[in-house]
Amino acid sequence: MKWTPGGVSKDVEDRRGETGGGGGFGGGRMRIGLGGALVLLVLSLIFRQNLFQFLDTGAAPGTAPSGAPAASTPAEDTLVQFVSFVLDSTQAMWARTLASQGVAYQDAQLVLFRDGIESACGFAETAAGPFYCPGDHKVYIDLGFYQELRDRFGASGDFAQAYVLAHEIGHHIQTLLGTEADVRRSQRLRGGRSNELSVRMELQADCYAGVWGHAADQEHILDAGDFEEGMRAAAAVGDDRLQRMATGQVNPESFTHGTSAERAAWFRRGFTAGRLDACDTFSGPVDISE
C-alpha cells in the first residue's frame, strides 16, 4: 500500500501500557477474533456443544484500569501509524457512503492493547484476536496478532493487515445501520438459525472490507498484489480451514464465519462493486464462489 508514516489517528486509544483487570465489566456482546474462533471451534467439537452461544454477556460496563505509558519498538511505532492510516481511510470512506444514504456516520475508536483488555463487551485476551464491540463502538486489537496472521495463518502483506481492520469496521457499519441488532434479535427468536445468521453477518463484514478496498484502489493507494493479499487473508480464516488446522475434520453445522471460498468471494464482490448494496448476504445463498 502507498502510505506515508507520520502521526497517530485521533480515534486511536493506546492502552498497551495497561495491565489486565478483573470483574465488573460487560454490557454488550463479545465478537471474538480469528484466534479465539479457532480455540472455540476445538472446544465445541470436543464437547459437542456450540460454545459460541456463551459469548453474550449482560453485566454493567466497568472502568478500565490505568497503566503506564506503552513501551514500544520502532517497528511497532510504524505499525501503529499504519493502522491509524487504515482506520482514518476506512472511516472517511464510510462517512461519505453513509451520508449518501442519509445516515450520519459516528466514528469508531481503535483500542490497542497487550495480553488482555476490558471492554463494554467483557474481558478479552490476546488469543481472542481482533474484535469489534457494539456496546462501545470500539475495535480492539493486539498488534502482535499481525505476526500470528502471517506466521500461523499464512496471510502476509500490509493489505492483509488492512483487511483485518476493515472487516472489524464493517461490523461497526452493521451496528450503525441496525443490522447487528436485527441479527441478534433473530438469533434469540430463531435459535436454530443462530450459526447461519452469524455466517451471513461475518460475510457481510468481509464484503464491506472489499468496498473499502475498492475505494482505496480508486484513490491509487493500493500496490500491485494488494487485492490478492486481501483475498488470501479472507480465505486463510475460513471456518473449514480453521477446523482442519484444529482437528483435521470439518463440521459445517458449527460454522460461524463462513468457508474460505465464501469469505474470499464476498470480499471480491465488495471490492469489484464498491457499493453498499452489493453486500446483501441475507438474501439468497451465501456461496457465491462459483
| Residue 289 amino acid letter | S
Q: In 3-state terms, what secondary structure has residue 86? A: helix
Per-residue pLDDT band at 44 (split at 50, 70, 90):
low
Which of 40-54, 232-246, 263-277 reaches the highest mean pLDDT?
Answer: 263-277
For residue range 118-144, what is the model confidence (pLDDT) as tens digits? Answer: 999 999 888 888 999 999 999 999 999
**Residue 135 in grid coordinates:** 456496546
For residue 71, the model assigns a pLDDT of 80
Output the average pLDDT for the chain. 86
Residue carrying C-alpha cell 493479499: 229
Most confident of 35-39, 87-91, 127-131, 243-247: 87-91
Q: Which three cell numbers stand for residue 10?
A: 485521533
Give backbone dihedrals phi and psi of 31, rounded to 5 degrees, phi first.
-105, 105
> What does DSSP say about strands 109-112 and 122-125: parallel, antiparallel, or unpaired?
unpaired
Query: Quick one: average pLDDT of 63-85?
Result: 79
Q: Among the listed ranges 61-70, 78-87, 184-193, which one has the minimum average pLDDT value?
A: 61-70
3-state SS string for 116-167 = EEEECCEEEEHHHCCEEECCCCEEEECCCHHHHHHHCCCCCCHHHHHHHHHH
Q: In the predicted model, is pLDDT for residue 23 greater than 80?
A: no
Q: What percent of the chain has pLDDT over 70?
A: 82
The DSSP annotation for 19-41 comes to: PP--SS--SSB----HHHHHHHH
User: In the predicted model, what is the mean pLDDT of residues 90-117?
Assistant: 96
CA-wise closest residue to 195 among 255, 143, 155:
255
First to last CA, the chain: 29
Question: Quick count: other Cβ atoms within 10 Å of Cβ 134?
Answer: 20
Q: What is the DSSP secondary structure assignment for residue 107, as one 8-state letter?
A: -
pLDDT for the residue numbered 22: 33
Cell numbers linked to 234 = 479472507
Predicted pLDDT of residue 63: 39
* Integer CA distances (angstroms), 262 to 70, 168, 198, 204, 245, in order: 38, 17, 13, 11, 18
Query: Sheet harboring 12-14: ordered strands across?
Result: 12-14, 109-112, 138-141, 131-133
**Residue 115 above 60 pLDDT?**
yes
In the chain, DSSP assigns E strands to: 12-14, 109-112, 116-119, 122-125, 131-133, 138-141
